Structures are given as C-alpha cells and as structure tokens.
Amino acid sequence: MQYKRILLKLSGESLAGTRGRGLDPACLESYARQVHEVARLGIEIGIVVGGGNIFRGLGGTRAGVDRVKGDQMGMLATVINSLALGAALENEGCPARVLTAIRMEPVGEFYSRERAMEYLRAGVVTLFGGGTGNPFFTTDTAGSLRAIEIGADLLLKGTRVDGVYTADPEKDPTAVKFDRVSFDEIYRRGLKVMDLTATALCKENGLPLVVFNMDVPGNLKRVVTGENVGTVVY
C-alpha cells in the first residue's frame, strides 16, 4: 500500500449529483461507500467538501451580498455538506467526525490539529467543515492547508472528469488528458485545477495531487492502491 494518510477534496456540486443543487442521497451513499472501502484498508482519511451546491460566496457577491458575508454563508454551506457526508458514512458503518473552522458546538467540534490527528490515528474519517474559517479563501485552499497540517501523503481532488486536460473537455473535444503534469506547467497554461493559493501551498510543501473522477465507483480505491487513474500533479 502506498499511502498511510490522505486528504480527499470534493466539490459541493458533486454532492448534488444530477440535480444541480442541494444534496443527492444516491451520490452521498456512493461516496460514503467508496470512502469506507478505503478506510477498511487501514488508510487514514480526511475530507474537505465545498459548498457550491448550496451557496457560493462569489455568487452572493454578484447578487449584492458583501463579499465577507457571502464567504461566511459559503462556509456554513460546507458544514451542511460535511454533516451530510458524515451521516452517510456512519450509515455505512464507517465512524466519522466533523470538525469546523468556526466555533459551532454542538454542530461540530472546533478544529484543532491535535484533535484531528487523534481521530485519524483512531481510524475515524475526519471531515473539515467551514473552509479555513476566513473569507477570500476557497475550499481548495482549505483542502491543501488541512492536508499539509495533518501530514497527508497525498491530496486527492474528486471531480466529474477523469483528470487534468489541456482545456475543458466538456467544452473542447480536442482537449488532451495529462497522465502527469507539474504545478509549474499548470500555472503556465492557466489550467483551472485549483486556485493559485492552493497550488502554491502544494508546490511549496511537496504535496502531490491526484485529480480523478469520483463518480466512477471504485476509483478512489484504485487511486490509493497505485493504479493509473486520473492525473498526477507534482
């Protein structure tokens, strides 16, 4: 087995499934089953989920909401998603806990690295809600930050596409998929993998990233057991 501890970053939109908004119970169940499958291998798992299926801060800004307030609303959306995925994991028989970057007991425990490490070492899937707790930072940045803080061996970004392409494959049929690509090349090409802050955190701390399609059942296990799935960013 290649990895002892991983951080899985999921978009909020992915939890909406084909609905486009809100939460899709079938999607939650599928993701929980995949995570549990990996947890049973003895791999410690942290998860960061976005909130775009419920509220996106920038969208609120365009609607006239102050950016700071909008981002705070988005943080609350990520907590809702974390609670939903945590409940789905427990329904699968997989122990899970939600830690939040903003104090909101008893909804979730206030995040501390020490508490997170206790849960991870005990085999509890640990969900990090509330982003970084600060406006102007994305959940991609939160994922990179938490991965580095907990000493993850790998950051995984589960998406609707099977890796990183030269262009958006949903819009450009001539787009070519990378098997491996450097953070520097992603920056040079302006590829929309993660925001620049998240990319810089990974590069500066030597944290590899794998972008893969989470909607294909079994893909998460394939990635962590070393199969050639998705795109490795280094």
Q: Pick the residue with more confidence: 24 or 169?
A: 24
pLDDT 10s digits, 172-184: 989 999 999 999 9
Are 192 and 171 in contact by the 8 Å Cβ rule? The answer is: no
**Averaged pLDDT of the chain:** 95
pLDDT for res 1: 56
- Give the C-alpha separation, 60 to 217, whole Å: 33
pLDDT at 161 over 80: yes
pLDDT for res 48: 98
Closest CA to 51 of 30, 26, 72, 29: 72
pLDDT band at 2 (very low <50, low <70, confident <90, very high): confident
Domain that holds residue 82: 5-233
Closest CA to 94 of 126, 135, 53, 62: 126
Q: Pick the residue with more confidence: 168 or 10?
A: 10
Percent of the chain with pLDDT over 90: 88
pLDDT for res 168: 85
Q: Which helix (H) or strand (E) holds 67?
A: helix 67-91
Amino acid at 184: D
pLDDT band at 102 (very low <50, low <70, confident <90, very high): very high
Are 226 and 2 in contact by the 8 Å Cβ rule? The answer is: yes
Q: Which helix (H) or strand (E) holds 81?
A: helix 67-91
pLDDT at 166 over 60: yes
pLDDT for res 19: 82
The pTM assigned to this predicted structure is 0.94
| Dihedral pair phi/psi, residue 10, rounded to 5° | -120, 145
pLDDT at 143 over 80: yes
44-49 β-sheet, strand order: 109-110, 96-100, 125-129, 44-49, 5-10, 154-159, 209-213, 231-233, 180-181
pLDDT at 63 over 90: no
- Give the C-alpha separation, 156 to 210, whole Å: 5
Domain count, the chain: 1
pLDDT at 92 over 80: yes
pLDDT band at 60 (very low <50, low <70, confident <90, very high): low
Q: Which helix (H) or strand (E) holds 6?
A: strand 5-10
Q: What is the DSSP string of 143-159?
A: HHHHHHHTT-SEEEEEE
pLDDT band at 84 (very low <50, low <70, confident <90, very high): very high
Assign residue 52 the CATH number of its domain: 3.40.1160.10
Rama region for 88: left / alpha / beta (φ>0; ψ in -120 to 50; rest): alpha
- Give the C-alpha separation, 29 to 25, whole Å: 6
pLDDT at 78 over 60: yes
pLDDT at 170 over 90: no
pLDDT band at 164 (very low <50, low <70, confident <90, very high): very high
Calculate mean pLDDT across residues 204-209. Answer: 98
Please give the biggest Cα pair distance in the chain: 50
